[in-house]
């Protein structure tokens, strides 16, 4: 009962003589027969009938202050509570629980743009990898400079965390085989001004894509990219029928029925 009352914003009034609130309430028994007095004066009689009066008071909660910090990809003590949509994300977000399956209402506490665990992301600007989700200069593990699109540093999202200020971080693994940091794990910003999905999630407006990979791309007979059908050189424009999801990646099905990777490092939407 006490917890139910507190959930409604009430608590038991303190004792006038001690100024303390009781933490438990109980009835005394005499053998098997309840020994209640005052059946006709606000209490219970030996038959268990009557009433009990409790003195309650309204509890006014005092909100705890939230300490802000900045939300940038490569700064030292980075990241604010404000996401890139301009909305403030409190560090006590009741929906924040990304390590468990979605709740009944489908929420996870993650913003809509957040990459799904297990998918690949890349950095569009210079960023650092940190050993702690609350970024500080002393926790830097690796630096990734801004690169051209086809050479952008790529990572696999293995989990999520939040900074002390409430900013979302990706826990990642470096998957750049030619990098000296290959295989390193740590935290990077999840700010979409710095980090994006490697694979397209939408159809191009003009239903065309252009091959940008230096060595070109192959098309295949299946969405799992098996059964090589054709090779397209860099600069080739392809007509797209639809976007197809395959596990944690995406493919573009061409109008000829064949499939190509929707990796942004290999193709670009529109005429390039």
What pLDDT digit, counting tens, does each position of 74-132 carry? 543 333 333 333 333 333 344 444 544 455 555 567 888 899 999 999 999 999 999 99
3-state secondary structure of 248: coil
pLDDT at 221: 97
pLDDT at 113: 86
pLDDT at 138: 96
Average pLDDT over residues 135-160: 96
Position 271 confidence tier, pLDDT thresholds 50, 70, 90: confident
User: What number of other Cβ atoms are within 10 A of residue 69's Cβ?
Assistant: 18
pLDDT in tens, 223-261: 999 999 999 999 999 999 999 999 999 999 999 999 999
**For the whole model, what pTM was predicted?**
0.62
| Cβ partners under 8 Å of residue 50, min gap 6 | 36, 38, 39, 40, 42, 43, 44
pLDDT at 180 over 90: yes
Length reported for the chain = 272
pLDDT averaged over the chain? Answer: 77
pLDDT at 118: 93
Query: For 120-148, what is the HEC assignment?
Result: EEEECCCEEEECCCCCCHHHEEEEECCCC
């Amino acid at each position: 009962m006490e917890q139910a009352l507190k959930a409604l914003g009430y608590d038991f009034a303190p004792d006038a003589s001690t100024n303390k609130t009781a933490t438990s309430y109980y009835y005394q028994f005499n053998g098997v027969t309840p020994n209640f007095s005052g059946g006709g004066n606000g209490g219970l009689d030996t038959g268990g009938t009557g009433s009990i009066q409790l003195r309650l008071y309204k509890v006014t909660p005092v909100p705890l202050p939230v300490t802000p910090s900045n939300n940038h990809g490569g700064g030292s003590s980075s990241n604010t509570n404000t996401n890139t949509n301009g909305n403030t994300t409190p560090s006590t977000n009741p929906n924040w629980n990304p390590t468990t399956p979605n709740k009944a209402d489908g929420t996870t506490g993650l913003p809509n743009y957040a990459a799904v665990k297990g998918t690949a992301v890349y950095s569009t600007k210079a960023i650092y990898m940190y050993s702690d989700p609350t970024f500080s200069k002393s926790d830097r593990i690796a630096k990734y400079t801004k690169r051209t699109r086809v050479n952008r540093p790529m990572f696999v999202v293995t989990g999520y965390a939040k900074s002390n200020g409430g900013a979302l971080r990706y826990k990642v693994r470096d998957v750049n085989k030619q990098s000296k940091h290959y295989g390193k794990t740590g935290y990077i910003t999840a700010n979409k001004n710095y980090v994006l999905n490697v694979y397209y999630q939408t159809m191009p407006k003009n239903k065309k894509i252009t091959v940008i990979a230096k060595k070109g791309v192959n098309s295949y007979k299946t969405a799992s990219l098996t059964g090589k059908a054709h090779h397209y050189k860099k600069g080739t424009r392809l007509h797209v029928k639809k976007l197809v999801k395959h596990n944690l990646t995406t493919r573009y099905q061409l109008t000829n029925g064949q499939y190509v990777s929707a990796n942004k490092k290999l193709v670009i939407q529109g005429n390039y």
